[in-house]
A and B are shown apart, each in its own frame.
Chain A
Amino acid sequence: EAQVTQNPRYLITVTGKKLTVTCSQNMNHEYMSWYRQDPGLGLRQIYYSMNVEVTDKGDVPEGYKVSRKEKRNFPLILESPSPNQTSLYFCASRGTLRETGNTIYFGEGSWLTVV
């Protein structure tokens, strides 16, 4: 089954304590990205990666890091989380326009609370 899997699904952490949200996809997609979703603001892209070792900033990259060492994995790193990073996070991957019409497949989401 085609899947984007992210962990943890729920996390409460304290300000300044580094955390990593993992993301893995089993569709051999080259493109992966991270979004955050906040009430009234919709989905906003944090970072994206067009392929292994290629990453770029989205609309709201401040306070986040990513890495793409393998095609299937795209972890999101919060080096020093702050309360304004409390949000619902989605990892996503995408095939090519020819294969899937650039359809995006989303993970189930990770609820992150920073206190």
Chain B
Amino acid sequence: SQKIEQNSEALNIQEGKTATLTCNYTNYSPAYLQWYRQDPGRGPVFLLLIRENEKEKRKERLKVTFDTTLKQSLFHITASQPADSATYLCALGGYALNFGKGTSLLVTP
């Protein structure tokens, strides 16, 4: 069956460090993969999309990589700030997008 796996353990890092979150998937051949941010009790907000023929995508302090051989995407936040604390979801699929359960990131001053 199709699975999207994100680390269920919260990631705690110090302000200024780089946070790296992982998304692994099985039984998908996605044409693209997306990352969303979700704050408690709020709707997820789109951050980045990366296509299967793109190895890396950047947006300000965010960087996403996509390895279709490993079936893995890495999401990096450089120079992290306490305001980056949130849950980050990866999503992939075809017309109906499926979401991972998310990884909680806590950035402490």
Contact = CB atoms under 8 A, between A and B. Distances in A.
Interface of A: 4, 31, 33, 40-43, 45, 48, 50, 58, 88, 90, 92, 94, 101-109, 111
Nearest to B101: A42
A29 B99 CA distance: 20
Interface residues on B, range: 20 to 34
A105 B46 contact: yes
B42 to A, nearest CB: 6
Contacts of B100: 42
A40 B99 CA distance: 13
B29 to A, nearest CB: 15
Contacts of B99: 42-43
A42 B41 contact: no
Contacts, number: 51
B43 A90 contact: yes
Interface of B is mostly: strand
A20 B41 CA distance: 20
A104 B41 contact: no
A106 B32 contact: no
B34 to A, nearest CB: 7
| Most chain B beta-carbon neighbours within 10 Å: one of A45, A92, A101, A102 | A102
A34 to B, nearest CB: 12
Contacts of A50: 95
A58 B98 CA distance: 10
Nearest to B36: A104
Contacts of A104: 34, 36, 44, 46, 91, 97
| Most chain A beta-carbon neighbours within 10 Å: one of B43, B96, B101 | B43
A94 B32 CA distance: 15
